[in-house]
Amino acid sequence: MNRENSATGFRRGHANGVRRRILNIPKITPAFSLNSDISLSTKINTQKSQATLLSLNKKSNSVAKKLLSRGETHRFVTSRRPRVVTSIRPGSYEFEVELIKAGVLFPRNAQVPSNYKFLRDVLGEVKDTTHSLYRQKRQFDRFSRACSDAKDENEITAIVLRELDFQDLLRGPNEVFNNVCMHHPISPKISSSQPDRYCGEKKSSIPFSVSTALLKYIQPSTSADCLLAPNFFLEFKGPKGTAAVCKRQAFHNGAIGAQAMHMMRQHIDIPEKTLFDAKAYTITITIEASTAISIYSTHVTQQIDAHQNIKRAPENSLSYHIVEIGTYHLRSSVESFVEGLSALSNAHSWARRQRRKLLSALQSSTSATRSTRPPKRKICST
């Protein structure tokens, strides 16, 4: 029996030695083996390998222990999992940093548009209304009670939209702007824009040649019923949300809309001096849980450094200037309630007029180019 056992052990040891020589693997004896006579350096190396294996994640600890019990630490190869890069959400300050890198200038660094006074006058216009003061007060009281009982963003959105006369023209909130191509590319880490409400034009109202040429700039979403060339955005935030997050989302939307307006104007072959006229054609509105409304305009200029106001940049890069043009508080008084709703309605009407002007100019330019084309020659067959 002793000879057979010794012969079997010799064969196993010989096979293991051959395998180690072929694979060029050093022999490692476990540190907890009491019958082996090994040097101190081998023990230290083995203990280090054991500590490395046992410090792995929980899923691989059981496998590592089994291999250690056999003294086969050389067979266990550690491999790190690929790092999952999560998108940067608006709740992170990095979101704001990436927007600034892409040329979006926040109000603290932005330039005032050349039509700033005109926009403020447009917002301040009070429409002729047949509502009596008593009816306005009842509407204000109902609105205030509903807002005080609102628990989340969806309820705030529903309450405010109920008071607007243009809510049927708005689209959202389930459309993700995943088809946007910015002049100065935004980092792919940043999450796609998803406005709560927005307004644009239907595909049938824009010439096919224009929509095809400017697909990546005026069609923000890949959905079939997406509105093109949006330039009016509403961003809501509930009681648990913060104003900073709401502004980052709104400014991202404003940059997308301003670029769409700029590309449509560029397609009409406007001279460069007129193209960069520093006029705003896009409106972005934030509505917080306290029903404080802030209205912002967005206009495009050639690329400007956010800190030094110095023109830098490649030829095609743009800067998007976000400027606040009005603030209203719907719950402070009946007068402020009426002024705020009038400002929202006026801003929507003005943004729609800007889109319609550009569309009419595009349609006339496309029809002119078609009329000036030489007729195709007919090939006569003999």
* 205 and 268 part of one domain: yes
Q: Quick one: pLDDT band at residue 74, thresholds 50, 70, 90?
A: very low
Question: Both 174 and 28 in a single domain?
Answer: no
The answer to whether position 301 is within a domain reads: yes
Among 25, 43, 75, identify where a domain stops. 75
Shared domain for 159 and 248, answered yes or no, is: yes
Residue 4 within any structural domain of the chain: no
218 found inside a domain: yes
Q: What is the pLDDT of residue 35?
A: 46
Per-residue pLDDT at 16: 55
What pLDDT score was predicted for residue 283? 98
Residue 2 lies in a domain: no
Average pLDDT over residues 249-265: 94
Statement: residue 379 has pLDDT above 50: no
Residue 6 inside a domain? The answer is no
Confidence at residue 23, expressed as pLDDT on a 0 to 100 scale: 52
Whether residues 309 and 364 share a domain: the answer is yes
The verdict on pTM exceeding 0.75 is: no
Please say which residue of 41, 75, 109 terminates a domain.
Answer: 75
- Is residue 132 very low, low, confident or very high in pLDDT (cuts 50, 70, 90)? confident
Question: Would you say residue 137 lies in a domain?
Answer: yes
The total of structural domains in the chain comes to: 2
Does residue 237 carry a pLDDT above 80?
yes
Is residue 187 in a domain? Answer: yes
Q: What is the pLDDT of residue 59?
A: 47
Whole-number pLDDT of residue 310: 41
Please give the mean pLDDT across all residues of the chain. Answer: 77
Range of the domain at 53: 11-75
* pLDDT higher than threshold 60 for residue 382: no
The answer to whether residues 206 and 232 touch, using CB atoms and an 8 Å cutoff, is no
Indicate whether 23 belongs to any domain.
yes
Mean pLDDT of 172-195: 82
- Domain termination site, one of 75, 108, 125: 75
Q: What is the pLDDT at residue 297?
A: 97
